[in-house]
Amino acid sequence: MNTGRMFIGGEWVDSCSGQMRSITDPANQQLINRVPEADQDDVNRAIAAARTAFDKGPWRQTTAQDRGKILFAVGQKIRERAVELAELEVKNCGKPLAEAQFDIQDAANCFEFYGGLATKIHGETMSVPADSLSFVLREPIGVCGQIIPWNYPLVMAAWKLAPALAAGNTCVLKPSELTPLTALELAKIFCEVELPPGVVNVVTGPGPGCGEVLASSPFVDKVAFTGGTATGQKVMAGVAKELKRISLELGGKSPNIVFADADREAAVDGALFAAFANQGEVCSAGSRLLVEESIHREFIAQMLAKIPKIKLGHGLIAGTKMGPLISYAQLEKVESYVKIGVEEGAKLLCGGKRPKGLEAGFFFEPTIFDGVTPKMRIAREEIFGPVLSILTFKDEAEAIAMANDTEYGLAAGVWTKDIHRSLRLVRGLRAGIVWVNAYHPTYNELPWGGYKKSGLGRELGLHGIEEYLETKQVNFHGDPAPINWY
Ligand code: NAD
């Protein structure tokens, strides 16, 4: 790998300041690599490279077919390097290997999906005045500043870059300062497929000083952000100064609703996976479990019986089902919420502490609170760790009201065998993604995004490319004649 460099204007460069950041494995705090610590000078350099590539470079003249071929080649190269990329992802962000392997394939699929879509960007024609030809052109927006979090580093990079490139934009990607390594490997792949210089730039640096510059620069035409809601609000404020295009994928506190008639085994499994996959560091995590009162006790017993199967450890160790949290700060945040839950009067059923024997990393046990009420902070605030809050409901109306009683609206799960009820829930839930008798499956073909404070706009699917296209009305008069107005 290109150790110690970031990717700007088609070259591997140091930061202007010469500052470096150590990237460590959250499972044992061992050094994995060092990357440049970019600041605003570096971001401006990357923006200038993307600007030149868009305004003067060959990228806009590239045919959709050629853009598609490049994206397919990127997908193929990701697959060829899947083993190495998955291991790097595990080391950098802590997730279990099986989850990282899935992520790598998902990232490859994303490039292939948008590779196919590049040639399907269609406008419209209409005959408004009979003597003219009127049509609608779809064009790239320009330079896109893309800011992503640490929980799915390569997947988030793919979700941002693939549709932007398919549409003909140029990009400055800023991965999380904690997890830049697979994004840098992706840049290496872009070199190998001979993407023109400056079309993709990867800047490694912190939010303040780097992300902020991308948000507020007058030379960036669109900002795509994934991260916490509070950060998204700051990004939006920066964007507002220049009134540029924006899409936001933000936080959540998603309800997972289990009715008494649900397939019990599937629902128990689904409730645990919804809450604890990726250590609970998932925007769409089913972190609020709403269980019908009549099955509550039994359901909890069935869940607790499975908790010992969630084996904690380094993600590269066979059998690991839960890795460490991303950082010490995140560990402290999760611990503080456990304290809050106890103080609020919720009943701690399991976990709530760091596991013994794994002190070198940022591990935290899968944690379940029962007796949670809708007003408690652990029922309302995004914890972003392996902490599940259980609430109970009496009937369908109460379940819907409780599920929607949140400022977020990213995802929701419903478990029932009653198809009529499930369809009523699908309509009643105010969330961008609703799973019925499942939790977490995500497809590149379908739109992803939130209602309310979970975001603006959509990624993935046909909707995802819309976020990277401008719309131009053209009125074409082939046979001009004076209109004799004056
Ligand atoms: P974060 O908001 O702290 O950081 C996200 C990114 O923004 C990072 O690259 C960071 O460096 C950058 N950043 C920080 N401050 C900034 C600023 N002032 N201006 C511009 N950029 C700034 O989030 P995180 O802790 O990295 O990730 C966790 C959050 O991401 C959770 O809230 C989670 O729900 C959310 N998330 C959402 C989705 C989704 O699809 N909706 C997906 C993954 C994660």
Q: What is the pLDDT of residues 347-388, one digit of tens each?
A: 999 999 999 999 999 999 999 999 999 999 999 999 999 999
Distance 435 CA to ligand 1 centre (A): 24
Residue 322 CA to residue 298 CA, distance in Å, equals 25
- Ligand 1 atom nearest the C-alpha of 231 is 2
Q: Identify the segments of the chain with pLDDT beneath 50.
A: 1-2
- HSE value, Cβ hemisphere, 13 Å, CA-based, for 413: 32
Distance 214 CA to ligand 1 centre (A): 14
Residue nearest atom 13 in ligand 1 by C-alpha distance: 207
Distance 227 CA to ligand 1 centre (A): 2
Residue nearest atom 14 in ligand 1 by C-alpha distance: 207
User: % helix / strand / coil in the chain, to the nearest 5?
Assistant: 40, 20, 40
Distance 205 CA to ligand 1 centre (A): 13
Is 344 tagged catalytic?
no
What pairing do the DSSP bridges indicate for beta strands 367-370 and 469-476? Answer: unpaired
Distance 246 CA to ligand 1 centre (A): 15
Residue 15 CA to residue 349 CA, distance in Å, equals 48
Residue type at 190 in one-letter notation: F
Extract the tokens encoding 91.
Answer: 């080391």
Cα–Cα distances in angstroms (integers) from residue 259 to residues 270, 305, 340, 416, 435, in the given order = 13, 20, 28, 6, 14
Cα–Cα distances in angstroms (integers) from residue 429 to residues 284, 398, 403, 407, in the given order = 14, 12, 7, 13
Residue nearest atom 16 in ligand 1 by C-alpha distance: 207
- Ligand 1 atom nearest the C-alpha of 152 is 43
CB 253 within 8 A of CB 285: no
pLDDT value at residue 264:
98
Distance 371 CA to ligand 1 centre (A): 30
Sorted by where each starts, the structural domains of the chain and their CATH numbers stand as 6-250+454-473 (3.40.605.10), 255-436 (3.40.309.10)
Residue nearest atom 43 in ligand 1 by C-alpha distance: 283
Which of 37, 99, 249, 467 is flagged as catalytic?
Answer: 249
* Partners of 34 in the β-ladder: 22
- Those residues whose C-beta lies under 8 Å from the C-beta of residue 206, and which sit 6 or more positions away, are 37, 177
CB 334 within 8 A of CB 383: yes
Residue 166 CA to residue 157 CA, distance in Å, equals 14
Extract the tokens encoding 471.
Answer: 């719309």
Cα–Cα distances in angstroms (integers) from residue 380 to residues 3, 118, 134, 377, 404, in the given order = 42, 40, 50, 5, 11
Residue nearest atom 32 in ligand 1 by C-alpha distance: 228
- Ligand 1 atom nearest the C-alpha of 455 is 41
- Those residues whose C-beta lies under 8 Å from the C-beta of residue 407, and which sit 6 or more positions away, are 380, 452, 453
Residue nearest atom 26 in ligand 1 by C-alpha distance: 149
Is 283 tagged catalytic?
yes
pLDDT value at residue 211:
97
Q: How many CB atoms lie within 10 A of CB 350?
A: 18
Instruction: Residue count of the chain, please give it.
Output: 486
Between helix 64-80 and helix 97-117 the angle, nearest 10°, is: 160
**Considering just the CA atoms, what is the radius of gyration of the chain in Å?**
24
CB 281 within 8 A of CB 325: yes
Cα–Cα distances in angstroms (integers) from residue 13 to residues 17, 18, 42, 313, 416, in the given order = 11, 10, 10, 35, 54
CB 422 within 8 A of CB 416: yes
3-class DSSP assignment, residue 100? helix
pLDDT value at residue 476:
87
285-316: burial string, b at 16+ Cβ within 10 Å, e else: bbbbbbbbeebbeebbebbeeebeebebbbbb
Angle at 475 between CA 220 and CA 66, to 5 degrees: 50
Q: Where are the alpha helices (DSSP H) in 96-176?
A: 97-117, 153-166
Residue 164 CA to residue 258 CA, distance in Å, equals 38
What pairing do the DSSP bridges indicate for beta strands 288-292 and 255-258? Answer: parallel
Residues with CB under 6 A from ligand 1: 147-151, 174, 176-177, 206-208, 211-212, 215, 226-228, 231, 234-235, 249-252, 283, 382, 384, 410, 450, 455
* Partners of 413 in the β-ladder: 256, 435
Residue 96's nearest CA partner among 386, 362, 320 is 320
pLDDT value at residue 132:
82
Exposed (0-12), middle (13-18) or buried (19+): which is 327, by Cβ within 10 Å?
A: middle
pLDDT value at residue 1:
44
Q: How many CB atoms lie within 10 A of CB 389?
A: 27
- Ligand 1 atom nearest the C-alpha of 206 is 11
